[in-house]
Structure 1
Amino acid sequence: MYKNIIVAVDMSENSYRAVLEATKLTEEDTFITLLNVRDASEAQREALHGGDIIPEDTIEGLEKQTSLLDSKNIQYKLLTKTGQIAKTIIDEANSGSYDVIIVGQKGKVLKDIIIGSVSRRVLKESKIPVLLVK
């Protein structure tokens, strides 16, 4: 199986299914990185209007995903970055540290982005295998 898995996560149900799929690919010494990317312009707008840097619904969704990994005793870390979502995921996945990237086909990215555009770009530009989860 894989030793070092990166999973692109947000608070969507597809993201949860991606984490669930990652748990099926683990062995005793597998390490999972959950990568949550906040769109830079959205984070800036929220900060300027007094909003949280990471909204409460995102935190709750991520807690559901980390609880799944905790319940299965899987080693993981949560990596949160701000930037252009697809590019940030690709840059991290292509850093040379990972064996596979797992991403949900549809997530709650931005309302004005075509659904699935992030996963499509990750699939196209990743240098490592990509597992898309519906």
Structure 2
Amino acid sequence: MFSRILVAVDGSESAKKAFEKSVYLAQRCNSKLDIIHVVDDSTYGGDSATTFDLIEELEERGKKLLEQCKSQATRNNVPVETLLELGDHAQVIIDAANKNDYDLIIMGSRGLSAFKELLLGGVSFKVMHHARCPVMVVR
């Protein structure tokens, strides 16, 4: 049914549930699972050393989160790759999905930036409307 699945993770409860659902589905469909974490580098503006340090710290946290997810998926015999990207959350997920011909994107309904979502529209909403493949949003 789905040979390639992309799941977006950010450490939120919603994303954790989406990840668990993606592992379950990948097991059942014998799918390859790619896990993506996006660090939004546009929010921190400026070229100061503090900005670079903050982005570097967020990248390190992302790497740890991806390693935890990879470990869990591997324990469940799911082939997995991880992607750590910089940029706008929604656009990076859309671009990755379209470039790599995924059969399904799985993501949480609310990420860590709930206030920003209220102002600008949710990441999941943007991905649902611009990705070429089906999108499963997990609550």
2:98 aligns with 94
**Larger relative helix fraction:** 2
Query: Following the alignment from structure 1 to structure 2, what is the Cα–Cα distance between the partners of residues 6 and 59?
Result: 17
Query: Following the alignment from structure 2 to structure 1, what is the Cα–Cα distance between the partners of residues 93 and 134?
Result: 13
1:39 aligns with 40
Q: Using structure 1 for the length normalisation, give the TM-score.
A: 0.83
Structure 1 gaps, min length 5: none
- CA 1:54–1:34: 2 relative to 1, 3 Å: farther
**Equivalent runs, 1:1-134 vs 2, <5 Å:** 1-27=1-27, 29-42=30-43, 48-49=49-50, 50-51=53-54, 53-55=56-58, 57-109=61-113, 111-114=115-118, 117-134=122-139
Q: Using structure 2 for the length normalisation, give the TM-score.
A: 0.81
Which amino acid letter does the alignment assign opposite residue 127 of structure 1? R
Query: Following the alignment from structure 1 to structure 2, what is the Cα–Cα distance between the partners of residues 46 and 24?
Result: 42
For each residue in 1:43-74, what CA deviation from the matched residue of structure 2 results, as whole angstroms up to 9, or x when unmatched?
Answer: 66697313352435444433432232022021
- CA 1:45–1:12: 2 relative to 1, 3 Å: farther
- CA 1:43–1:107: 2 relative to 1, 3 Å: same
Query: Following the alignment from structure 2 to structure 1, what is the Cα–Cα distance between the partners of residues 34 and 63?
Result: 16
Give the superposed CA RMSD.
Answer: 2.6
- Of all paired residues, the percent bearing the same amino acid is 29
Equivalenced residues, count: 134
Shift of 1:42: 3.7
- CA 1:81–1:103: 2 relative to 1, 3 Å: same
- CA 1:57–1:40: 2 relative to 1, 3 Å: closer
Which amino acid letter does the alignment assign opposite residue 7 of structure 1? V
Query: Following the alignment from structure 1 to structure 2, what is the Cα–Cα distance between the partners of residues 76 and 95?
Result: 18
Which amino acid letter does the alignment assign opposite residue 126 of structure 2? R
Asked whether the 8 Å contact 1:20–1:68 carries over to 2, the reply is no
Structure 2 gaps, min length 5: none
